[in-house]
Chain A
Amino acid sequence: MRYFDSSLKSTEWDGHCVDVSAFSTETRQMPRMNPTQFSAARRPDSQTRDKFVASGGGMGRCDEPPPSSIDGIAYGRVVLLAAKYVNAASQAEIVARLEILNRRLLEQAPRITEQHMHALEEAEDHVRRTRAAREERSRRLGLSE
């Protein structure tokens, strides 16, 4: 007898199914297979079926800042960092979104702004003018070497 007669004892094969949710590099297990349960395997335990009434509004909370604003980007970043902390394992998808938000944050709120540059240039001009005035005064009073 090549194959074990599974009817001889309660079999482990009962309830095995292909779990498509295991469709990932992180959960690379040989799927437990029972074709009769293929279609049911995807269904989450708790779900509500509905014909299309949902329109997709209300994705964010009303007290959240607009997602494109600096506060919105920072808020999204915090939520992602929290999710990353909870998940422990650093998911590539979370890291990718964090990187995108970081770039946008730097674009919208750069560490050195144009105003900073103007202020520095004005300060340099002020120093230059002060030095010229001092040198001119020294010359006039015969104090220059």
Chain B
Amino acid sequence: MPRTTWEADSLVKRKSEQAAEYKQSFLRQAVCEFRFPTLMELGGKHPPAVFVAALRRDYPHLEIGDEVALDLAGESGCNNTHIFRSTELSWTVSLKLNSFSIETTKYTNHDEMRARVLRVVEAAAKIIDADFFTRVGLRYVNVIDSGAEDPVEGWVNSELTGPLLSARFQGIQDYASRLQLAAPDGGCLIQHGLRLAEGIQVPPTYIVDVDAFRTGVAIADTSDVFEAMHQQASEVFDWALGESARKYLSVNQGS
């Protein structure tokens, strides 16, 4: 019987219907990572042929990133990362000896992300010699760019920017905070803060970085866990927005 809910799903109470309706996005980077019981041979010089064949169509570029050699028994002690990139280099799949991840810097929509993730999971299921993941994580890094406006003024939830709005402080050089939520089967890490631009004439941008994760996930539950984490991350993101940002995201690009 597949599992469809996790205790960690309830860590964020607010339910928002609006997140899915936005026509634009502040998403600068999205990563979905799967960890599995370590398989030393995956850190060798070559990725498994069956995995290469499964990804060849969508990710025709292959790179090998040499990491630390454990110097245990020649090749089997290596800790290489196999990096597969899409034709336009905007999507990346990385395979290590205890994890693989799917990452993009050009997020289009949830459906594409989900389809790509599930395809990679299907390919990886044949090589990881386990029927579960020790940890699954989904991370969305949003950069709220308010143009000529100050993002603190209406673009970000005032509950996040209280000290900045208090008018008590001047010469702010750095502002960042993190909120870690935890449950027995997962959690959610919310990190947010200002990114100051070079020169005072340029308004800063505001980072909202949400990382949802679940532990001990059966491969058969991948689709459900991905949905649960996406929903949680979307709700946190939507909560972090101010009205100006919502208005901006609701308008079609170019209109």
Q: List chain A positions with a Cβ less than 8 A from chain B.
A: 1-7, 11, 13, 18, 20, 23-25, 28, 30-31, 33-35, 38-39, 42-44, 46-52, 54-61, 64, 67, 76, 79-80, 82-83, 86, 91-94, 96-97, 99-100
Contacts and interface: CB of A to CB of B under 8 A. Distances in A.
Given A3-B196, A6-B173, A83-B70, A56 B75 contact: no
B199 interface: yes
Nearest to A99: B37
B183 to A, nearest CB: 13
B74 A61 contact: yes
Given A20-B31, A58-B46, A6 B41 contact: no
Given A38-B28, A42-B83, 12 more contacts: A6-B173, A7-B198, A23-B211, A30-B209, A42-B103, A44-B83, A51-B62, A52-B60, A58-B75, A59-B41, A96-B38, A100-B129
B212 to A, nearest CB: 12
Contacts of B231: none
B28 A55 contact: no
B255 interface: no
Q: Which of A13, A35, A58, A82 has the most CB atoms of chain B within a 10 A radius of its CB? A: A35
Given A3-B204, A47-B65, A52 B56 contact: yes
B201 to A, nearest CB: 9
Nearest to A59: B41
Interface in B23-57: 28-29, 31, 33, 35-42, 44-53, 56
A7 B46 contact: no
Nearest to A94: B38
Nearest to B171: A4
Interface in B143-184: 143, 150, 164, 169-173, 176-178, 180
A5 B200 contact: yes
B138 to A, nearest CB: 10
A54 B200 contact: no
Contact of B135 (A25, A49, A54, A82): A25
B65 A13 contact: no
A54 B103 contact: no
A100 B37 CA distance: 9
A49 B46 contact: no
Interface stretch (B12-20, B91-99, B218-226, B236-244): B91-99
Given A54-B46, A55-B49, A93 B65 contact: no
Contacts of A56: 46-53
A44 B134 contact: no
